Structure 1
Amino acid sequence: MKKLYFLCTGNSCRSQIAEGFGKKYLGSEWEIRSGGIEAHGLNPKAVKVMEEVGVDISNQQSEMIDLEYLNQADLVVTLCGDAENRCPLTPAQVKREHWGFNDPARATGSDDEVWQVFQIVRDAIGQSIREFAQTNA
């Protein structure tokens, strides 16, 4: 089974959403995990926004990057510029890609406006993973 590792700064929103979609769309071919430069805890709004599309991420854990898994991954995908810049070096055989998305946890405005940002980011991540699944599953 191939290994896919989604990385972000705090492993609280974007990488958690990506892990959930990855398990949904790639789970039979790929082992999917996520990690962060830091562990900020699973964002409750990320859980709720994924519930809207029928993906349960409530049991996922916010974890720091596992260097052993990182070095054994087939593909490492960074989801924010900070993780792209600060991610530890990987061996040459580990393919790395960057799929940048805005951080919904930093959204400002009314509750509805913040929620809309979570939905937009979720949908963009989901679309990227569906497209990846079509060519890599």
Structure 2
Amino acid sequence: MEKKIKVLFVCVHNSARSQMAEAFLNHLAGDRFEAHSAGLEPGTLNPLAVEAMAEAGIDISANRTKSVFDFFKRGAIFNYVVTVCDGANAERCPIFPGITHRMHWSFEDPAALAGTHAEKLEAVRRIRDQIRDAVASFVTEQGAP
């Protein structure tokens, strides 16, 4: 059996963007990839992200937030570490040992959205779709069907 490509998605709180990216990669190509997510300062799962992902047919409601530094301290090895926050926060991500490719995909922070519930949910749907498209492109670039 071919070894899975291990990917870690990192954002600030591991509450929305990295959770969505992890879920999409495992959903779209879990046979070829093993996705995880973590945050620089783990917070709580964003209910809008949970709602938007449920609309896409993926349940992340039972996920918990995790610290990127816990993965680092355990000596976890990843083929790819993908930061999905802004550039300044991406620079705070630790350098993992081994041959790790670092990538940066910048997405708007759902925690920073303002407006009514409906307005924020609409924005999170847009971010969710951008993340899904980025993950799908990544899968294609890696040669996965």
Q: TM-score, normalised by structure 1?
A: 0.93
CA contact (8 A) 1:5 1:70 kept: no
Aligned to 2:107: 101
Q: Report deviation, 1:110.
A: 2.1
Map residues 54-65 of structure 1 onto 2, 5 A cutoff.
54-65=57-68
Q: Report deviation, 1:15.
A: 0.5
Distance 1:122 1:86, change over 3 A: same
Q: Deviations over 1:5-36 (max 9, x none)?
A: 00000000100111110111121111110000
Cα distance in 2, alignment partners of residues 86 and 18 from structure 1: 19
Distance 1:80 1:107, change over 3 A: same
Correspondent of 1:75 among 75, 80, 83: 80
Q: Report deviation, 1:111.
A: 2.1
Q: Report deviation, 1:92.
A: 5.7
Correspondent of 1:119 among 111, 122, 125: 125
> Runs of at least 4 residues of structure 1 off by over 2 A?
68-71
Aligned to 1:9: 12
Q: Report deviation, 1:59.
A: 2.0
Cα distance in 2, alignment partners of residues 86 and 14 from structure 1: 17
RMSD over aligned Cα, in angstroms? 1.5
Q: Deviations over 1:40-97 (max 9, x none)?
A: 0211111111000101111221010110567510000000124411101233610000
What 5-or-longer segments of structure 2 have no aligned partner? none
What 5-or-longer segments of structure 1 have no aligned partner? none
Aligned to 1:128: 134
Distance 1:128 1:85, change over 3 A: same
Q: TM-score, normalised by structure 2?
A: 0.88
> In structure 2, what residue type is equivalent to 1:113?
E
Aligned pairs, number: 137
Aligned sequence identity (%) = 36
CA contact (8 A) 1:8 1:14 kept: yes
